[in-house]
């Protein structure tokens, strides 16, 4: 079968397409014919060797954390009712950039009728994370909500959900194309965080008070600037690292301003909770209440190009690999 592997830590060029033996499901496992694989920013960090403290993977390995496709075989003890069904699944560290994937059968999530596999793949990680964040943050009608990284796969969902809750949404992104998308998704105000005055613009948009709720999907100095403009007594959710790590904010700083500070722990879910949130995200999309933004799709063999685009920050929404 075709697969893409990381042959050594390094730049996108270390991703190489080739053939691998076809896998066979063992007891309690399912074999999925993969159609779509989501590409995560985290995939690029692991490939570059920058996440060894949390993901001690050694090359050569197949990157990717999830798949969408059809179940073609099951191992002993697995429910044969999964055969022929469209599913999404985490790949439990086995990779997703490949034609056939073996995954635990109890981790399969059925894709509802009327929802495409590409949309389901785009929601596998971002959908459950967005719903988990919204449940934790409880955006309220009339309050100001700032989404930093609003044109990304996760940010786009948060903009929609906060808007649907009746909040006044400000979407922060980079460049006109992304800002236009964010407005289309429901943000009443937008700001380009590439501009030095962007935080001051946010403060002015909110009448000088700052946003009541902030979702930081970028981190680094951009995340720090977002924290500075958050209203006293507000809620700050810091979960993104594309800006060079999590926003450098300490609990003591947040406490002095009465800001409830939440970090990456808010998007870490156990198996049961992850399944619930994924099923809910897929159901919401099938019903037309949320729309995943798929910004770009690459053939499996072009995984290196997909990684390069993500690292160059030229992507919008979700990036996918088309396997077949």
Q: Is the pLDDT of residue 179 over 80?
A: yes
Nearest to 170 by CA among 132, 198, 138, 136: 198
Token look-up 């960090």 returns: 45
What is the reported pLDDT for 290? 96
Fill in the DSSP letter of residue 272. H
Instruction: State whether CATH 3.90.180.10 applies to domain 2-110+293-322.
Output: yes
Tens digits of per-residue pLDDT, 112-171?
999 999 999 999 999 999 999 999 999 999 999 999 999 999 999 999 999 999 999 999
Contact present, 46 and 60 (Cβ < 8 Å): no
Bridge partners, residue 102, by sequence: 31
What is the reported pLDDT for 56? 87
Nearest to 149 by CA among 226, 237, 217: 217
Question: To which CATH superfamily is domain 126-267 assigned?
Answer: NAD(P)-binding Rossmann-like Domain (3.40.50.720)
d(CA 65, CA 97): 9
Instruction: Kindly report the average pLDDT of the chain as a whole number.
Output: 95
- Selection from 54-58, 133-137, 242-246 with the highest mean pLDDT: 133-137
Token look-up 């959710």 returns: 237
- Mean pLDDT value of segment 282-288: 97
Q: Is the pLDDT of residue 9 over 80?
A: yes
Bridge partners, residue 66, by sequence: 90
- Determine how β-strand 29-39 pairs with β-strand 318-322: antiparallel
d(CA 248, CA 238): 10
What is the reported pLDDT for 183? 97
What is the reported pLDDT for 242? 83
Asked, as a colleague might, if the bond just before 281 is cis with ω within 30 of 0, I would say no
What is the reported pLDDT for 92? 77
Q: Which residues contact 101 (CB under 8 A, 6 or more apart)?
A: 23, 31, 32, 34, 67, 69, 89, 91, 94, 95
Residue range(s) occupied by CATH 3.90.180.10 in the chain: 2-110+293-322
- Mean pLDDT value of segment 298-320: 96
Q: Is the pLDDT of residue 55 over 90?
A: no
DSSP-H helix ranges across the chain: 41-47, 117-137, 153-164, 176-185, 198-205, 220-229, 251-256, 271-286, 303-311
- CA-CA-CA-CA torsion sign (32, 90, 272, 76): positive
Residue range(s) occupied by CATH 3.40.50.720 in the chain: 126-267
What is the reported pLDDT for 324? 82
What is the reported pLDDT for 93? 84
Tens digits of per-residue pLDDT, 73-102?
999 999 999 999 999 999 978 999 999 999
What is the reported pLDDT for 195? 95
Bridge partners, residue 260, by sequence: 235
What is the reported pLDDT for 29? 97
């Amino acid at each position: 079968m075709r697969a893409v592997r990381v042959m050594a830590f390094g730049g996108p060029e270390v991703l190489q397409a080739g053939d691998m033996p076809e896998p066979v499901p063992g007891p309690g496992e399912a074999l999925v014919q993969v159609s779509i694989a989501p590409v995560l920013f985290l995939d690029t960090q692991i490939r570059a060797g920058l996440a060894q403290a949390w993901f001690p993977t050694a090359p050569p390995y197949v990157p990717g954390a999830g798949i969408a496709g059809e179940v073609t075989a099951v191992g002993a003890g697995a429910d044969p009712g999964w055969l022929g069904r469209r599913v999404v699944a985490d790949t439990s560290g086995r990779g997703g950039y490949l034609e056939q994937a073996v995954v635990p059968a109890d981790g399969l999530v059925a894709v509802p009728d009327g929802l495409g596999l590409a949309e389901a793949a785009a929601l596998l990680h971002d959908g459950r994370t967005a719903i988990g964040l919204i449940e934790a943050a409880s955006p309220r009608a009339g309050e100001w909500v700032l989404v930093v990284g609003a044109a990304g796969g996760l940010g786009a969902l948060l903009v929609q959900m906060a808007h649907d809750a009746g909040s006044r949404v400000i979407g922060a992104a980079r460049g006109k194309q992304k800002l236009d998308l964010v407005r289309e998704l429901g943000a009443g105000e937008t700001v380009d965080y590439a501009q030095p005055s962007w935080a001051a613009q946010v403060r002015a948009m909110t009448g000088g008070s700052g946003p009541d709720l902030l979702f930081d999907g970028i981190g680094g100095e951009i995340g720090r600037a977002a924290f500075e403009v958050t209203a006293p007594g507000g809620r700050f959710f810091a979960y993104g690292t594309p800006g060079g790590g999590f926003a450098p904010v300490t609990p003591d700083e947040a406490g002095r301003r009465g800001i409830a500070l939440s970090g990456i722990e808010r998007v870490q879910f156990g198996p049961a909770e992850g399944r619930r949130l994924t099923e809910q995200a897929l159901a919401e999309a099938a019903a037309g209440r949320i729309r995943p933004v798929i910004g770009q799709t690459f053939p499996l063999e072009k995984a290196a190009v997909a990684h390069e685009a993500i690292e160059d920050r030229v992507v919008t929404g979700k990036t996918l690999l088309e396997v077949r």
